[in-house]
Chain A
Amino acid sequence: MEKYLRTPIKEIIGKYPPVGALLEEYRIGCVPCSVGTCLLADIVEIHNLSPEDEGTLMARIAGIVSPGQAVALPEPRNRRPETTRKFSYSPPMKALVEEHRQIKRFLAVLPAVIDRFDARSEADRGLIRDGLDFIRSYADRFHHAKEEDILFACFDPGLDILKAMREDHERGRAHVRAAGEALARCDGEGIAANLHGYAGVLTEHIKKEDEILYPWMDRNLSMRQVGELFARFRAVDERFAEDRKKYESFVGRLEDAYAETISEVR
């Protein structure tokens, strides 16, 4: 079993597909992950299962990878019972989740913008330029920079989960670059494909961070680290205060302009 605990999850699921379905049962969503380099042991730890669930999951995985064999299972981690710790994001994580909320508002309106886009219209091209500016400035320079330069630095940079998050950021950036190039060529299809691609990457990425990564980080950060992150994030917020207002009001205007189309799409 030890060998499988140290094996990247994609490799295990590739060889033993039922493991993927089993993980889904425990709300561990590794199957759609495009990276899949996280080790099984890290994944189980990061999802903070109860010792009972962890023990059962390990036994069932052992039954799939080594059927009919007696396998020595790892001792489930002895954690504080869930009921003693009411989950709430720490203040710095809460700030990142709020920024995610703004990005999700933008992603929600994006399909309507793409749907109505006419490459011959200067106004429409201007809107895409503004949208790309929102992504580059708010989502990337402001929000992702906080994550990559400040938050991730609190953890071992070799962690697979962090590599996967950085890879998501890079995939998002590649889509934005390609959408910008398509815009310069007035290539409507190229713009649409890359913005849809960006929305897909970011939607999944935000879900992973909100539901899995940030709670795990919160469980592992000391009070000193939380206080330092809080102060450093606030310093970034102060530097970006004016721009932040501008970009958040841009999303509001976009929602108003596309309200009808959004409700039709929904």
Chain B
Amino acid sequence: MMSGCPGSRMMAFEKSDAPEGAVGNVPSQLRQWPIQLHLVSPQAPYFQGADVVLAADCVPFAMGDFHNAYLKGKALAIACPKLDGDQEIYVEKIRGLYEDAKINSLTVTIMQVPCCRGLLGLAMQALKASSRKVPVKSVIVSLQGEVLQEEWASA
């Protein structure tokens, strides 16, 4: 029987028969720098009125099609709710995205491991504190990159 933290449990995925998928140069959909939530500023021009993706650090690695499926046309911030420090700054910063950058929508993409829910929690805590509301969607991604659930979050 497995035990311990599902977020750090060791697993290997056999991929020998997996299809290769897109070949050649797949263009990046990233339109900004920096992207780490501690480093970005809600005042940055690329956030103003934007549709924003707040991605848990692991998601773009797990999901083969993250750029086209979720990043295309959107601004990005990434964070790890398990390992990053000073997360109260994250809450304020996300609130700044709602209120100051007046973002149009927020998509929070997280892994299926329980600790990742914390990122959605930060986004919702910020939304609750914000005087301006926006639609927030959560996307839960499996360890092998499948979308397990897409759901609208309510404040």
Contact = CB atoms under 8 A, between A and B. Distances in A.
B is bound to A: yes
Interface of A: 80, 84-86, 88-92, 94, 223-224, 226-228, 230-231, 234
Contacts of B152: 88-91, 94
A236 to B, nearest CB: 15
Closest 9 CB pairs of A and B: A227-B104, A227-B105, A91-B135, A223-B105, A223-B51, A88-B152, A230-B135, A86-B151, A226-B135
A42 B146 CA distance: 29
Contact of B107 (A94, A223, A228): A223
Interface string B120-140: 000000000000011101000
A223 B105 CA distance: 7
B18 to A, nearest CB: 19
B150 A224 contact: no
A144 B23 CA distance: 48
19 contacts: A84-B146, A84-B149, A86-B150, A86-B151, A89-B152, A91-B152, A94-B154, A223-B51, A223-B105, A223-B107, A224-B51, A226-B105, A226-B135, A227-B134, A228-B104, A230-B105, A230-B135, A231-B104, A234-B133
B74 interface: yes
A89 B130 CA distance: 22
B105 A224 contact: yes
B73 interface: yes
Given A86-B149, A92-B135, A223 B154 contact: no
B121 to A, nearest CB: 18
Contacts of B154: 91, 94
A224 B151 CA distance: 16
Contact of A90 (B51, B103, B135, B146): B135
B25 to A, nearest CB: 26
B147 A224 contact: no
Interface in B51-94: 51, 73-74
A224 B149 contact: no
A223 B138 CA distance: 12
B146 A223 contact: no
Contacts of A230: 105, 133-135
Given A84-B146, A86-B151, A91-B152, A224 B135 contact: no
A227 B105 CA distance: 5
Nearest to A92: B135
Contacts of B30: none
B54 to A, nearest CB: 12
Nearest to A231: B104
B44 interface: no
B147 A84 contact: yes
A231 B98 CA distance: 12
Interface in B5-63: 51
Contacts of A228: 104
A223 B148 CA distance: 19
Given A88-B151, A91-B154, A227 B133 contact: no
Contacts of B135: 90-92, 223, 226-227, 230
Contact of B104 (A85, A90, A91, A224): A224
A226 B74 CA distance: 14
Which of B103, B105, B146 has most A Cβ within 10 Å? Answer: B105
